[in-house]
Structure 1
Amino acid sequence: MKYGYLYGLNQRIPDEQFNKIKDYMKDFRRKDFIDGIIKVTGRPEGYRCLEKDVAKVEEILNITNTLEKRRKKIEDAFSNPQSKRKLKDKSFQWLITLFERGGTRPEQNLSRLALHSTKIYDPDDDFKNHRDIGQGTLFIYTPHGMWYIINNNRMGDEHPQNNVKTGDGGAIGYRLMYDDNVDTLIRICSEENIYTGKKLY
């Protein structure tokens, strides 16, 4: 069964309120996604509703900052080239701050990350087009976190900073645990552009 995006509440609500929406919610567990053909991005455990039921839940709980409004705000910004660039740049700057300040930098191998990834975003085909000259960035989702990968193998780069092995020389990688807000920023800044360059593993 394909679930698509699953949505949960971002704060606890009284039991009497939850009882009003419980028919739309399912208590998901990791075992619900053990089918080998299902790719899981994020941490779907806990009470979640399907996308088709989001508006009903929002109406019952009198949520005013709805999913539709948030999407419309992004769509409106993307309809204008200047506001689109501004939103993408701002999202990217937020991501850099979040990954660099809150992320960890474990030793890893790019091929292993790619092999176990659920999706790989390549903003503006940056990695695809500039991999050969040691540039480009990727956002890689795995079952164990989200990675921000910075290609770092040009002559003159500070190679000792590299913690991710690549076939080209190395990269800097930051890892965060999955977070819905970070996911939104990544999707804005990458426009959900999937990596289509040379095979990574």
Structure 2
Amino acid sequence: MADKDLKLETKCYDAMEYGYLYGLNKKIPDEEWEKVKPYMRKWKRMDFVEGNIKVTGRPEGYRCLEEDVPKVEEILGITNTLAKRRANIEEKMSDPIKKVQFKDQVYNWLTMLFKSGTQPKQDLSRLAIHSTKIYDPADGFKNGAEDGYGELFIYTPHGMWYIINNCSPGANKALNNLESKFGGAIGYRVMYEDTVDTLIRVYTEENEYTGPQLY
């Protein structure tokens, strides 16, 4: 009988060459592992361009490419497949009413997760320089940065950041832990997790930042 909890999840994102790499979310019996091992390459830091400078997440360990995910799922009899999870999201996003409700729920989850993270002092320009990708929900930062508004989600080799621009007239800048050319921002950092990555991609609709240079 298939393990309903077993699935392949993203372990890291490589901005230079491989994109997302996937790994199993739990240990499986050795005899099952041998069946999928041909697809599960053991990655090392040296396998990535520039070491792992442009990788967010945990690149080291047994991972498979996205193109091999269906093969591994079929061999192991995984029912909670990547395709099914994506179809479930697409179904909610395709209905205008469900989409609004779903994105509101996703945003609440995201803010809860990020606010349980850390708030180290940092410079937005440094995060941008070392980023693997930057999402800008509805172009809010692109269009509002100069006026002190907008949000960003920044993927870096040292974690994922939720940035809230906080330099509008009347803003409480004492809350800012990020310096920026616009006047400062609030930033929360968490380590890479498949769930957080999925929530970010849903909420932002994978809209990448195309606004003024951040450094």
Q: CA deviation at 1:3?
A: 2.1
**What's the RMSD between the two structures over aligned residues?**
1.7
Change (3 A) 1:73 1:138: same
Q: What corresponds to 1:169 in structure 2?
A: 183
Q: Which runs of 5+ in 1 are unaligned?
A: none
Q: Name the CA distance, whole Å, in 1 between partners of 2:56 and 2:198.
A: 13
Question: What secondary structure, in the 3-state scheme, does the structure 2 residue paired with 1:47 have?
Answer: strand
Shift of 1:125: 0.5
Native 8 Å contact 1:2 1:38 kept in 2: no
Aligned position for 2:127: 113
Q: Which one-letter code corresponds to 1:145 in the other structure?
A: G
1:154 aligns with 168
For 2:48 and 2:176, the matched residues in 1 are separated by 34
Determine which structure has the larger strand proportion and give its number: 2
Q: Is the 8 A contact 2:177 2:185 kept in 1?
A: yes
Is 1:142 matched up with 2:156? yes
| Cα distance change on mapping 1:112 and 1:38 into 2, 3 Å | closer
Q: Is residue 153–residue 168 contact of structure 1 (8 Å, CA) maintained in 2?
A: yes
**Overall identity of the aligned pairs, in %:** 63
Q: Is the 8 A contact 1:131 1:151 kept in 2?
A: yes
For 2:62, the equivalent position in structure 1 comes to: 47
Matching of residues 1-201 of structure 1 within 5 Å:
2-35=17-50, 39-101=54-116, 103-201=117-215
The count of aligned residue pairs is 200
Deviation at 1:37, TM superposition (A): 11
Unaligned ranges ≥5, structure 2: 1-15
After superposition, the Cα gap between the structure-2 partners of 1:152 and 1:38, relative to the gap in structure 1 and judged at 3 Å, is closer
Q: Within 2, Cα distance between the matches of 1:40 and 1:174?
A: 19
For the residues of structure 2 that align with 1:36 and 1:104, how far apart are their CA atoms? Answer: 26
Give me the TM-score of the superposition, normalised by structure 2: 0.88
> For residue 190 of structure 1, what is the amino acid of its counterpart?
T
Q: Secondary structure at the match of 2:55?
A: coil
**Deviation of 1:38 (Å):** 8.3
Q: 1:39: how far off? A: 3.4
Letter in 1 for 2:24: L
1:151 touches 1:170 (CA, 8 Å); kept in 2?
A: yes
Cα shift at 1:76 = 1.1
The Cα shift of 1:138 comes to 0.2
SS of equivalent to 1:75: helix
Which secondary structure does the structure 2 equivalent of 1:65 belong to? coil
**Inter-partner Cα distance in structure 1 for 2:68 and 2:87:** 18
1:181 to partner: Cα distance? 0.9
Query: Helix, strand or coil for the counterpart of 2:183?
Result: coil
Structure 1 runs of 4+ aligned residues shifted over 3 Å read 34-39
**CA deviation vs aligned residue, 1:126-147 (integer Å, no higher than 9, x gap):** 1111112211100001111100
Within 1, Cα distance between the matches of 2:153 and 2:98?
23
Segment of structure 1 superposing worse, 106-115 or 29-38: 29-38
Q: C-alpha deviations, 1:150-175, integer Å up to 9, x for none?
A: 00112222211100001121100001
Q: Return the offset for 1:35.
A: 3.8
